[in-house]
With several copies, the nearest count.
Chain A
Amino acid sequence: LFKSSYGRMIQTAIPESLYTDDPTKVVGPPPGAVGARSPFEHPVKKASDTSSRTPLQDLYGTITPADLHYERHHAGVPVIDPHKYELLIHGMVDKPMVFTLADLKRFPSVSRTCFLECSGNFRSNKETLTPQEICGLTSQSEWTGVMLTTLFREVGVQPRASWFLAEGGDAAVMTRSVPVRKAWDDAMIVYAQNGEAIRPEQGYPARLLLPGWEGNTNVKWLRRLELSDQPFMTREETSRYTYPVKDRIRQFSFEMDARSIITFPAFPQQVEKGWIEIRGIAWSGWGKIAQVEVSTNAGKTWQPARLQEPVLDKAHTAFRYLWQWNGETTEILSRATDETGYTQPTIQQLLNARGADMGGYHLNPVTAWVIQRDGKVLFRPEKWK
């Protein structure tokens, strides 16, 4: 008689024994305190020693679930007690000050949805790469916090201050120098992500958010800001996050250039002849996405894709393009154009601009997927080294 589990199950662990041929005949677990994924869904980040990548091909729309946000740390994820947390702002200010987390939350707040992207976000070594492997070091959240200007106003940043050091409270004591102009533009100190407290991997309890700027500058577990009249030339802005351009080394490359990737169809999908909605995301660190074009004939001709409204500033923007595949081998590509008029380049255009030794940061080439006759989809690797 008691097929019912009413009142006895906890929803965070639905056992296999509950699986049934006809769910209309079995009462399920009642409402609970915290939900959980369906036991049939297992989206995971792909982790290496130093980073883990968002499964772009498993996602829909534009929000990245917080537990699938990409990670890049330089000494792991610190455990920070929010009651002990403090942010120090000092240097070229009238009044050096300390703010607790509760203090930060009391200031006027702002929410904004934008992407983060590691500037080393590109892999291209073989055909069997997923969108996650090619460029899963980007994710998007709705962030909430205080505008950095609000705090700069409070401490009285001096007119001659042109840079600030942002320092993390992790075991790398991560530091980056940031031009003060970014604070007057749109920098924030954020303590919330997708509606709840920011996650440990994204900087709990508070991080710097520099919309559109390379991930590493968005210092996590932020403990200190020092105002200065010059950059500090930390290891992360000299030995790392710089790259050869012709015979020089380009430094302080902050904005992430416009980029897009088709996430469906993509390896390891297999598609059928007929109507296919080509889907992907496009973003730019310079502003809004103005247009995404899709080619279904290996780049010979391009058609505009539909953009999902609302198109936000410096945000992952979903695009879609309806295509009837005739079953012949072909290549599909996407390219993003942002509101500054910049169009996502090919790897060859990047090579022309930067030289053959161009290094691995800030690479945003158009990527192509080969659709084989059997419907299998393969990445088309770019070879340039």
Chain B
Amino acid sequence: LLQDTGSWPASFHIGRRATLAEINALDIDIRPDGKGLPPGQGNALSGQTIYTAKCAACHGTGTAAMNVQLPGPALMNDSAGANRKKLRTIGNYWPYATTIFDYIRRSMPYNAPGTLTPDEVYSITAYLLYANRIIDQQTMMNAASLPAVEMPAKKLFIADDRQGGPEIR
């Protein structure tokens, strides 16, 4: 399948060099070490207001499954790390706090993705960490503090050890 590239030129001279501005316009991802986080900040107090306005309609404010079926999954658990078998949430299943920022900024609100400011995303992230009993209501989330948050579920994650061969894993 792979080509015999022995006779290939060092470059085909197809495509063009990307400019820094082009890269910055698309480079929205956040790594666990915080690389990619923008300037800005917010805490759970401001986050709760935004969440109520822009998120609660789909995700609810409760922690348990309600009788009504909501468009989006529940995001909160009563106590960090608990009830994982019943309900998988940020508090008991997410290994990195940076993922919350990254995902909300790129994909939420579902019906208007990419519309939140960095301060709004920091605030909502802080609120979701607070509502999952991981940080307190005043703690400011920013490029320095967010990657430092220790997530309860982190220790549970292991890399896949399947490797082909007869053993069922």
Contacts and interface: CB of A to CB of B under 8 A. Distances in A.
Question: Is there a direct interface between A and B, measured as CB atoms under 8 Å apart in the complex?
Answer: yes
Interface of A: 1-4, 6, 22, 24-25, 27, 74-75, 88-90, 95-100, 103, 106-108, 110, 112, 147, 149-150, 153-154, 165, 167, 171-173, 175, 186, 223-224, 226, 228, 230, 232-235, 238-239, 242, 244-245, 247-255, 257, 274-275, 286-287, 306, 309, 313, 322, 324, 338, 340-343, 345, 349-350, 352-354, 357
Given A167-B29, A234-B29, A324-B9, A147 B157 contact: no
A344 to B, nearest CB: 9
Q: 10 nearest interchain CB pairs?
A: A340-B164, A235-B103, A173-B106, A4-B111, A96-B18, A99-B15, A253-B160, A286-B164, A345-B168, A248-B158
B88 interface: yes
A273 to B, nearest CB: 10
A252 B95 contact: no
A147 B107 contact: no
- The prevalent SS among residues of A at the interface is mixed
A251 B166 CA distance: 21
Most buried by B among A171, A186, A233, A343: A233
Interface residues of B, number: 60
A336 to B, nearest CB: 13
A230 to B, nearest CB: 7
Contact of A171 (B88, B107, B158): B107
A99 B14 contact: yes
Interface in B23-50: 23, 26-33
Contact of A97 (B15, B33, B98, B167): B15
A233 B17 CA distance: 28
A150 to B, nearest CB: 8
Most buried by B among A248, A249, A255, A357: A249
B159 interface: yes
A78 to B, nearest CB: 11
B32 A250 contact: no
B66 interface: no
Given A24-B114, A233-B96, A253 B8 contact: no
A149 B165 CA distance: 27
Given A153-B5, A233-B96, A249-B156, 12 more contacts: A3-B112, A27-B110, A96-B23, A147-B3, A153-B8, A228-B31, A232-B29, A232-B102, A255-B164, A275-B12, A306-B3, A357-B85
B93 interface: yes
29 contacts: A4-B110, A25-B113, A75-B110, A75-B113, A96-B17, A96-B23, A98-B22, A108-B3, A110-B3, A173-B28, A186-B2, A232-B31, A233-B31, A234-B99, A234-B102, A235-B102, A239-B88, A239-B93, A239-B94, A248-B158, A249-B153, A250-B160, A251-B158, A253-B160, A275-B12, A275-B13, A306-B3, A342-B164, A350-B168
